[in-house]
C-alpha cells in the first residue's frame, strides 16, 4: 500500500516543479535579451601613462588589465622563484608599484591607482 501512495506523490511533485522551473528561466532570458550597462568589473577604464607602457593606452576592463599585467610578469620572469607570491618589479613595474617588490595580493591596489573611468 505504501508504494501506491509514493507512486501518486511522485507525479504531483514533478508537475509542481515544472512550472517553477519555467518561471525562473523567463526572467533570466529577459535580462539577457535587454542590454544593461556593464558592472564595475566590465567597465572600460583608461590606464595611466605608466600602466599604459605595459597594457596599452586604450581603455580596458579591470579584468583584462590584470590579465595583461600577469602576462607581462610571466613573460619577463618577474616572480620571485623562492616565493611565487612576490613580484620583483622591473623599471616599468616600479613606476606602477612605486617600489621594488610587491605581493600579488597588493598588486590590484597599485593597479587601481593607475586606472580612471
What pTM was estimated for this model as a whole? 0.65
Cell 533570466 -> residue: 28
CATH of the domain at 64: 1.10.245.10
C-alpha cell at 22: 519555467
Strand partners, 63: none
At 41-89, the pLDDT tens digits run: 789 999 999 999 999 999 999 999 999 999 999 999 999 999 999 999 9
Same domain for 53 and 22: no
**How many structural domains comprise the chain?**
2
Same domain for 48 and 96: yes
β-pair type (115-116, 60-61): unpaired
Domain of 20 in residue numbering reads as 1-36
Q: Is 86 helix (H, G, I), strand (E, B) or coil?
A: strand
Same domain for 86 and 65: yes
| Count of beta carbons in the 10 Å neighbourhood of residue 11 | 9
Same domain for 99 and 57: yes
Amino acid at each position: 500500500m505504501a508504494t501506491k501512495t509514493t507512486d501518486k506523490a511522485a507525479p504531483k511533485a514533478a508537475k509542481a516543479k515544472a512550472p517553477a522551473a519555467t518561471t525562473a528561466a523567463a526572467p533570466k532570458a529577459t535580462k539577457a535579451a535587454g542590454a544593461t550597462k556593464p558592472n564595475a568589473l566590465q567597465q572600460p577604464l583608461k590606464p595611466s601613462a605608466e600602466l599604459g607602457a605595459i597594457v596599452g593606452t586604450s581603455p580596458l576592463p579591470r579584468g583584462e588589465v590584470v590579465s595583461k599585467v600577469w602576462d607581462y610578469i610571466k613573460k619577463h620572469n618577474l616572480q620571485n622563484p623562492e616565493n611565487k607570491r612576490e613580484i620583483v618589479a622591473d623599471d616599468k613595474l616600479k613606476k606602477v608599484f612605486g617600489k621594488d617588490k610587491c605581493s600579488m595580493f597588493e598588486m590590484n591596489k597599485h593597479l587601481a591607482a593607475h586606472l580612471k573611468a
